[in-house]
């Protein structure tokens, strides 16, 4: 499972994409993914919000993640 990183998320992870190690338990839902990210990178807990996009759409907490989905970590947006 590859995760795209933007803005401060990219700084926290240190790269523009991230993969969990082989052998890691792969999160099955958006909420599991967020929990795992926060456990792996505690800095994510300090953000004012954290959203996940699946295939270019904001995803609900209970959305199931499937092989081949494009998953992006969306820290607080600030365009404009």
Partner 1 sequence: MKKNLKGNTVVEIVDVLNTSDVFKELSHPHSGGSCVFVGTVRGFTKNEQVLSLEFEAYKAMAIIEMEKIAREASEKWALNQVIVRHAVGTKQIEDPVVVVGASSAHRDDCFEACRYLIDILKERVPIWKKERFKNKSVWVSAHP
- Interface contacts to partner 1, rule CB under 8 A: 4, 6-8, 11, 46-48, 53, 56-58, 72, 74-80
In angstroms, what is the minimal distance from the CB of 53 to partner 1? Answer: 6
Are residues 53 and 18 in contact, defined by beta-carbon separation less than 8 angstroms? Answer: no
Q: Which is nearer to partner 1, 24 or 61 (CB)?
A: 61
Could you tell me the two tokens for 39? 């456990």
- 12's enclosing H/E stretch is helix 7-13
In angstroms, what is the minimal distance from the CB of 74 to partner 1? Answer: 5
């Amino acid at each position: 499972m590859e995760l795209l990183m933007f803005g401060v998320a990219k700084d926290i992870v240190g790269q523009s994409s991230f993969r969990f190690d082989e052998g890691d338990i792969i999160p099955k839902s958006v909420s599991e993914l967020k929990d795992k990210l926060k456990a792996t990178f505690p800095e994510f807990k300090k953000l004012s919000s954290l959203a996940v996009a699946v295939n270019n759409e904001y995803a609900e907490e209970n959305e199931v993640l499937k092989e081949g989905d494009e998953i992006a970590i969306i820290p607080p947006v600030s365009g404009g």
